[in-house]
Amino acid sequence: MYVFAIDVSAHFLLNRITGVNVGYLNCSLCWSSAQDLIGDSAATEFARSRDHVRVLVDVLTRVRDIAERLVSAANVYATDMHQLSRELR
């Protein structure tokens, strides 16, 4: 009984947030007709967006790698300075 209430609440919230009926999202016939309505220009835009996201992920991965190397170099420098300070005592 409680599972049904949660399921109904989840569907209600999803319908309110997205404005799309959940049954429509699960229907393969409806989904294929929706793809026909979108058209080729939207598919091209989605492909471009996907490419932009891929490029952005690649750039952020490179930035992360550079930051990791900087942290590693800073740790080596800190260790060297610590050893130097010990020797100068």
Q: Where are the domains of the chain?
A: 1-38, 39-89
Give the list of residues 6+ apart from residue 20 with CB closer than 8 angstroms, or none. Answer: 14
Whole-number Cα distances in Å, 53 to 2, 62, 67, 69, 76: 40, 14, 21, 24, 35
How many Å apart are CA 79 and CA 38, to the nearest integer? 59
Entry pTM: 0.49
Mean pLDDT score of the chain, rounded to an integer? 76
How large is the average pLDDT for residues 16-34? 59
